[in-house]
Chain A
Amino acid sequence: MNKRTWLIVALVLPLIALVGTAFLKGMQRASGTEVILPIEGFDPRDLLSGHYLTYRVDYGVAPACATPEVHADLCINPTRGIYPEGTRPSDCSLFIRGYCGSDTHFLVEDINRFYIPEEHAAALDTKVRNKQGAIVLSVDTDGNAVLKDLLIDGKPWKTAVETAN
């Protein structure tokens, strides 16, 4: 290949990678089953991406993990429960992959941050602290969960903010 061809490859590669990433994320968000989980949390700053909420998700299981620091699945249907990886009941039709932290809390990566506009950060932070918040997840058949929306008092956050104004 000559240099011009290499340049085309070098320019197209990032485009494919970025478009592909956005496409796959979009597909994952659109095709999964919706699961709503309550949250509570706080609002630090992210200099690169504006404001976002971080929170603790209430997975609705108590007690939490039996063993710390292992991969685990949270079964949602038909019975909610946490199972170490590979021990999930065969009748579990909907589950989320995660892991048990050192404090035996169940955790799922990539669903603990929700980006919000700066002007609404303080108001949403207060509502989430007051346990009025919930997140909407899209869960695929392999147990991968992605964030779809943030609910305040059961309504999408944009609606809740507009109503408050």
Chain B
Amino acid sequence: MGMVTRKLDQWQQAGLITPAQHTAIIAFESNHPQRANWWVYSFMILGAAIIGLGVISLIAANWVDIPDSVKLGADFALLALIAGGIYSQYPNQQHGIWFEVLLVSFMLLCLSSIGLISQIFHTGGEWYHALLFWAAITFLLSLFARNLFTRFLWVTLFLHGVLWSIVTTAGVDFNHSLDEFPAVLLLAPLLSALLYYASRQVKPLHGFSGSLFFWFQLSGVIALAFADIVRSGGDMDNYPLAWFIPAYVTAAVLAVSIVLQRDFKLLNKVLLLAALALLLLYYHPDLLFSGESRYNVSFWQADDTRAPLLTLAILFLYAVHAGNIGHQRTFNLVTFLIGLRFVILYFQAMGGLAATGIGLIVSGGLIMGIAWLWYKGRTNLQQWTKGLKA
């Protein structure tokens, strides 16, 4: 209210609103208080999460002193008690804060129950299979969540469970090293994007869209940065194609999904498909990259030339798409990343020369120039992308 009142005072002084309008708005806001503040939700849910962790720690520390039947009985009784609490707190129209807190507690306790059963019966399953099982049994419940944190928690654990399960099913073995990590990095954004589009098509899943989009963007940036760093260093030349089969299958389904999007123009579909194709090309073992740097082969054949160009091309395609459909924050983020990549490109090209006096002056100027260009030009650039038609 404080900020609203200050703004209204300023607008009234500037003559934008009348005193009567000022009073009417204040009265309206007073009669329509906001729902519980986000920080109250956050702290309550954080408390529930800490309690869940405490339960896991208690079981882990004392499990041998407690008989199996008592441990399981107490665990299931607690679950049933919280389930009863959730049911009693469920109103018809608006969910209360306790409903969300109990919901998160129940979901976390389900996860710790899987760990408890695993301990008692010495099952040797993998952590991602446990997450997948947890996500399957709590899926219906997650649809009742109204708080972003609850949905984000479910989406995050589900994505990790399904992602690592798919990759290991394809024969990738993470037991001895993380050499096969690129298989996960490529699949993550493709799978997140596919599930994001799926969630937009099915009404009950709309609540997951935001979390899936977040993971798509984050995993996409990480996948791109990883490929850029590794390719620029000429290291990614011994990766078997078989690791990427799940990613290729997902990419094919994603491509069909993009084509079928009704709210995309032909331009958006072409841009996204082109970005997808370039990302797959980036991770392909030897189609475009040979492991050679500029010192050994010609400029255009070198990995450390092709990698930044591919990064910039993918970011540019996605930025044009984001700008065209009016995703301003995404557009700003991606264009910022393009500017950042140009700065890094300068340092890569200059090498040790960038650390000299003149080099540092030019570097500082370049950073300031790109930042200024981005700040001043992004609005015009977005207007241009919005005007593109196909």
- State the A residues within 8 Å of B (CB): 3-4, 6-15, 17-19, 21-22, 25-26, 29, 48-50, 52, 109-118, 120, 146-147, 158
Main secondary structure of the interface of A (DSSP, over half): helix
User: Which residues of the partner chain A approach B110 to less than 8 Å between Cβ atoms?
Assistant: 14, 18
Q: Which of A10, A17, A52 has the most CB of B within 10 A?
A: A10
Knowing A10-B141, A13-B137, A146-B121, the reply to whether A50 touches B60 (Cβ < 8 A) is yes
Minimum CB–CB distance from A94 to chain B (whole Å) comes to: 21
A47: nearest residue on chain B (CB-CB)?
B127
Asked if B80 is at the interface of the complex by the 8 Å CB criterion, the answer is yes
Contact A112 B123 (CB under 8 A): no
Contact A11 B87 (CB under 8 A): yes
Minimum CB–CB distance from B47 to chain A (whole Å) comes to: 21
Binary interface encoding of chain B residues 140-174 relative to chain A, with 1 for a CB under 8 A from any of its CBs, else 0: 11011000000000000000000000000000000
User: Which residues of the partner chain A approach B118 to less than 8 Å between Cβ atoms?
Assistant: 49, 115
Q: Which of B63, B64, B72 has the most CB of A within 10 A?
A: B64
User: Which residues of the partner chain A approach B86 to less than 8 Å between Cβ atoms?
Assistant: 7, 11
Instruction: Please pick, from B106, B121, B136, the residue contacting A26 in the complex, using a CB distance under 8 A.
Output: B121
Pick 21 A–B contacts, CB within 8 A, sort by A: A9-B140, A10-B143, A11-B83, A11-B86, A11-B87, A14-B79, A15-B76, A17-B133, A17-B137, A18-B76, A18-B79, A18-B117, A22-B120, A25-B121, A48-B130, A49-B118, A49-B119, A110-B123, A113-B123, A113-B124, A120-B64
Q: Which of B92, B118, B120 has the most CB of A within 10 A?
A: B118
Contact A115 B76 (CB under 8 A): no
Bound-state Cα–Cα, A13 to B118, Å? 19
Contact B119 A6 (CB under 8 A): no
Knowing A7-B86, A7-B87, A114-B122, the reply to whether A13 touches B140 (Cβ < 8 A) is yes
B84: nearest residue on chain A (CB-CB)?
A11
Instruction: Please pick, from B72, B90, B138, the residue contacting A22 in the complex, using a CB distance under 8 A.
Output: B72
User: Which residues of the partner chain B approach A146 to less than 8 Å between Cβ atoms?
Assistant: 121-122
Minimum CB–CB distance from B316 to chain A (whole Å) comes to: 41
Contact B137 A7 (CB under 8 A): no
Knowing A7-B90, A115-B119, the reply to whether A14 touches B124 (Cβ < 8 A) is no
Question: Considering the complex of A and B, which 8 residue pairs feature the smallest CB-CB distances, nearest first?
Answer: A10-B140, A50-B60, A147-B122, A14-B137, A25-B121, A10-B141, A11-B83, A110-B124
Contact A117 B137 (CB under 8 A): no
Bound-state Cα–Cα, A117 to B210, Å? 41
Main secondary structure of the interface of B (DSSP, over half): helix
Bound-state Cα–Cα, A50 to B118, Å? 11
Asked if B333 is at the interface of the complex by the 8 Å CB criterion, the answer is no
User: Which residues of the partner chain A approach B64 to less than 8 Å between Cβ atoms?
Assistant: 116-117, 120, 158
- State the B residues within 8 Å of A (CB): 56, 60-61, 63-64, 72, 76, 79-80, 83, 86-87, 90, 92, 106, 110, 113-115, 117-125, 127, 130, 133, 136-138, 140-141, 143-144
Bound-state Cα–Cα, A12 to B86, Å? 12
Bound-state Cα–Cα, A25 to B114, Å? 12
Instruction: Please pick, from B119, B133, B136, B141, the residue contacting A50 in the complex, using a CB distance under 8 A.
Output: B119
Minimum CB–CB distance from B307 to chain A (whole Å) comes to: 34
- 7 extra A-B contacts, CB within 8 A, seeds A18-B114, A49-B115, A113-B124: A4-B87, A14-B138, A15-B79, A18-B79, A22-B72, A147-B121, A147-B122
User: Which residues of the partner chain A approach B140 to less than 8 Å between Cβ atoms?
Assistant: 6, 9-10, 13
Contact A48 B122 (CB under 8 A): no
Minimum CB–CB distance from B313 to chain A (whole Å) comes to: 40
User: Which residues of the partner chain B approach A7 to less than 8 Å between Cβ atoms?
Assistant: 86-87, 90, 144
User: Which residues of the partner chain B approach A117 to less than 8 Å between Cβ atoms?
Assistant: 61, 63-64
B136: nearest residue on chain A (CB-CB)?
A17
Instruction: Please pick, from B115, B141, B143, the residue contacting A11 in the complex, using a CB distance under 8 A.
Output: B141
A158: nearest residue on chain B (CB-CB)?
B64
User: Which residues of the partner chain A approach B80 to less than 8 Å between Cβ atoms?
Assistant: 15
Knowing A111-B124, A146-B121, the reply to whether A118 touches B138 (Cβ < 8 A) is no
Instruction: Please pick, from A9, A25, A109, A158, the residue contacting B117 in the complex, using a CB distance under 8 A.
Output: A25
Contact B83 A15 (CB under 8 A): yes
Bound-state Cα–Cα, A25 to B121, Å? 7
Bound-state Cα–Cα, A146 to B120, Å? 11
Minimum CB–CB distance from B91 to chain A (whole Å) comes to: 10
A50: nearest residue on chain B (CB-CB)?
B60
Minimum CB–CB distance from A21 to chain B (whole Å) comes to: 6
